[in-house]
Amino acid sequence: MWHSDFAREPSCDSLATLKLCERDEEPQLAAGAPGYSQTLPTPRHRQARQALQGAEESRHSPPADPAQNQASLARWAAAAGGKPAFLEVLTIPPEEFASQITRADWEVFKRIQPDELACLGWNRRDKHILSPNVVAFTRRFNQVSFWTVKEILNVRSVKQRAEVLGLFIRVAKRLQELNNLHGQFAIISALQTAPIYRLQKMWAHLPKNVLQKFEKQRELFLDVNNWEKLRDLLSRAKLPCIPYLGK
């Protein structure tokens, strides 16, 4: 079962991009015209303009020396007293990640009404009206999956990338212990997408015991015999539980 086979929400197919922009909502008047007044830019406007100018200059500036970039990154990490930004994920215990993911998933799951499931509205054109909370729950699945892929690919070093991969495998295992099968499957499916699964050198750096944990979790969500292993786990799970509402 690959991630491409799952129900997807089109609005989640791309990561959000933060942009700063300035809009002139008032009509421009010539100096001296009736109603003309000269207003000074506010600090917020100045910050936005400086950010735009900085982004424009960096876009046109020549590439810096890689050795200088690496040295500056090391100095930044030492001054910050921690790891570079793309490795901060390793400083958070997997138990904390699993706990926060479960809290967010539960807030969406508890709003789902029985009628939304009975009418199968999430497969229709007006799904946002018939099954709005099921659609939101699907969106949560995609958000966790895309976030997992993004955090792994943000790391350039193969060894460090394997560390991030191992972290998410442990997070998925903890989600299973919390009976959050929805969040667990979101991470496991992300690790089986082409951008992650094809990184053979990264997987080769993974410790054998961690790789075995991944294989056991992957087998849990195989659609063999009508999802036999997943249904068996659900039948033995104690409430509260957040199930996977897939096929």
Give tens-digit pLDDT for 10-65.
333 333 332 333 333 333 444 444 444 444 444 544 554 554 455 444 444 444 44
- With a cut of 60, say whether residue 149 has pLDDT above it: yes
Average pLDDT of the residues of the chain: 74
Once rounded to an integer, what is the mean pLDDT over residues 226-242? Answer: 87
Question: Residue 84: what pLDDT?
Answer: 53
- With a cut of 50, say whether residue 77 has pLDDT above it: no
Q: How far apart are CA 176 and CA 233, in angstroms?
A: 10
Question: Residue 25: what pLDDT?
Answer: 36
CATH number assigned to the domain covering 92-236: 1.10.840.10
Residue 98: burial class (beta carbons within 10 Å; 0-12, 13-18, 19+):
buried
Q: Please give the residue that has the higher pLDDT: either 124 or 181.
A: 181
Q: Give 193's pLDDT tier (boundaries 50, 70, 90).
A: very high
Question: Residue 11: what pLDDT?
Answer: 37
Q: How far apart are CA 166 and CA 89, in angstroms?
A: 12
**CA 160 to each of CA 19, 78, 187, 190: distance values in angstroms, whole numbers, following the listed order:** 30, 18, 18, 18
C-alpha Rg value of the chain to the nearest Å: 24
Question: Residue 24: what pLDDT?
Answer: 35
Q: Where are the domains of the chain?
A: 92-236
Which of the residue ranges 140-154, 167-181, 231-245 would you say has the lowest mean pLDDT?
Answer: 231-245
Which residues share a beta bridge with 242? 180
* Full-model pTM: 0.64
CA 10 to chain centre: 15
Q: How far apart are CA 112 and CA 18, in angstroms?
A: 30
- With a cut of 60, say whether residue 218 has pLDDT above it: yes
- With a cut of 70, say whether residue 219 has pLDDT above it: yes
- With a cut of 80, say whether residue 92 has pLDDT above it: yes
Q: How far apart are CA 89 and CA 100, in angstroms?
A: 14
Which of the residue ranges 49-63, 127-141, 164-178 would you say has the lowest mean pLDDT?
Answer: 49-63
CA distance between the termini of the chain: 11
